[in-house]
Amino acid sequence: MAEHFQEDSVSSVAVRIDAEHPQGVLFDPHQPQLRVTDLGVVRGDGVFETMLVIDGAVRKLTPHLNRLRRSADITEIGIPPEESWRAAIQLGLEEFRTRGGLPEQLSIRLTATRGVDGEPASEDPQFAGTYWALLAPVPATMLASRGKPIAVTLLDRGYSSDAAERSPWLMLSAKTLSYAVNMAAGRWARQHGFDDVIFLSSDGQVLEAPTSTVLMYSEDAEGTPVLTTPTLSTGILPGTSQGAIFAAAERAGWKLAYGPVTPEDLKAAQHVWLLSSVRLASPVNRIDDHQLEVSTELTATLMDFLAQDLAETYPTES
Ligand code: PLP
């Protein structure tokens, strides 16, 4: 089977969590594992987190675990306690060491699904679903594209900026497995000559990118840097990278703000980035036909803010 997999996935390590193995147990990710009736597969009914490991240190581990818990609560999916996820991650990292060494940079994806309909894996609701951690080296293509300028297009996400409040059943801000729309938007962008997308609400507010958070930079009259990101009340995902950058920027004396952000605000910003845990900070040099200035120096500062890893949890805007 292994020859069907790319090199990166062959060198990945996987850990399952279940009632019999609350601390996790290794499994071969290159062999079939899931029941075809698992609701994570047939309905995208599950939640996940993706995080970065550098030299064996997991970046923003607590913010990610807290956000996993938040997504699980919103979707009403029972998940194992935090200690189980921490132990599973350590087991995975240890397996890399046993195999001959930790890659310098790994991504870890934690996945929890609702499991098989009508057949809970355990009577204990914390273990009733399907749970695993997948650890894989960060692909060379991702490492090479880090910090490189990107062109984005603004696309309508199809719901209004108050949809999260009006329609809680949409579970807008949960990090669920249902990413088909986000992936389709990315394909649309690439087919039309862009690298990525920034979604707008139907009433014209800036939301987020399909897999990242929008960050704007400007300076006030005194020359103090001001970072602005769209308000979380629009139902966007509270980004752990944005939260980590805000925590470090605040310590550095920068000003911080949460939108509402309009497309005009975005284009008027001095600089714009897309942020996410593995990609880090990608400067935007074009929004549709509007050119934006890119600062290599400020991108490096944001990378440094991320490396400080100061945030205690995901951002809440309060
Ligand atoms: N927004 C969406 C929709 C995402 O999927 C992601 C990450 O995957 C982000 C924002 C960025 O979140 P983080 O910085 O926590 O990786």
Which pLDDT tens digit goes with each residue over 126-181? 999 999 999 999 999 999 999 999 999 999 999 999 999 999 999 999 999 999 99
Q: Please identify which residue in the block is written with the tokens 């390590």.
A: 13
* Residue-wise pLDDT tens digits, 101-115: 899 999 999 999 999
Instruction: Give just the sign of the alpha carbon dihedral 238, 243, 245, 251.
Output: positive
Q: Please identify which residue in the block is written with the tokens 């995902």.
A: 237
Averaged pLDDT score across all residues of the chain: 95
Nearest to 213 by CA among 178, 253, 259: 259
Other CB atoms within 10 Å distance of the CB of residue 172: 19
Cβ neighbours for 126, distance < 8 A, ≥ 6 positions apart: 78, 79, 80, 81
Residue 196 burial (10 A CB sphere; 0-12, 13-18, 19+): buried
Mean local confidence (pLDDT), 241-260: 97
pLDDT band, very low/low/confident/very high, at 100 (cuts 50, 70, 90): confident
In the chain, % of residues over pLDDT 70: 97
Pocket test for ligand 1, best of 49, 53, 176, 237 (most atoms within 8 A of CB): 237
The full 3-state SS of 118-186, as one line of letters, equals CCCCCCCHHHCCEEEEEEEECCHHHHHHCCCCEEEEEEECCCCCCHHHHCHHHCCCCCECCCHHHHHHH
Other CB atoms within 10 Å distance of the CB of residue 180: 9
Contact 127, 80 (CB under 8 A): yes
Greatest alpha-carbon span in the chain: 62
Helix (H) or strand (E) segment spanning residue 51 = strand 46-54
Task: Give the pTM.
Answer: 0.95
Torsion from C-alpha of 83, 88, 94, 99, nearest 10 degrees: 180
Ligand 1: centre distance to CA 115 (Å): 24
Contact 104, 54 (CB under 8 A): yes
Position 318 scores a pLDDT of 77
- Residue 262, pLDDT above cutoff 90: yes
Contact 186, 196 (CB under 8 A): yes
Nearest to 47 by CA among 135, 237, 175: 175
Ligand 1: centre distance to CA 173 (Å): 10
Measured by CA distance, the residue closest to atom 3 of ligand 1 is 211
User: Do the bridges between strand 150-156 and strand 196-200 make them parallel or antiparallel, or are there none, so unpaired?
Assistant: parallel
* Residues having CB within 6 Å of any atom of ligand 1: 50, 208, 211-213, 237, 239-241, 275-277
- Residue 45, pLDDT above cutoff 60: yes
- Residue 119, pLDDT above cutoff 60: yes
Ligand 1: centre distance to CA 126 (Å): 25
* Residue-wise pLDDT tens digits, 278-305: 999 999 999 999 999 999 999 999 999 9
* Residue-wise pLDDT tens digits, 181-203: 999 999 999 999 999 999 999 99
- Residue 2, pLDDT above cutoff 60: no
Q: Please identify which residue in the block is written with the tokens 């913010």.
A: 63
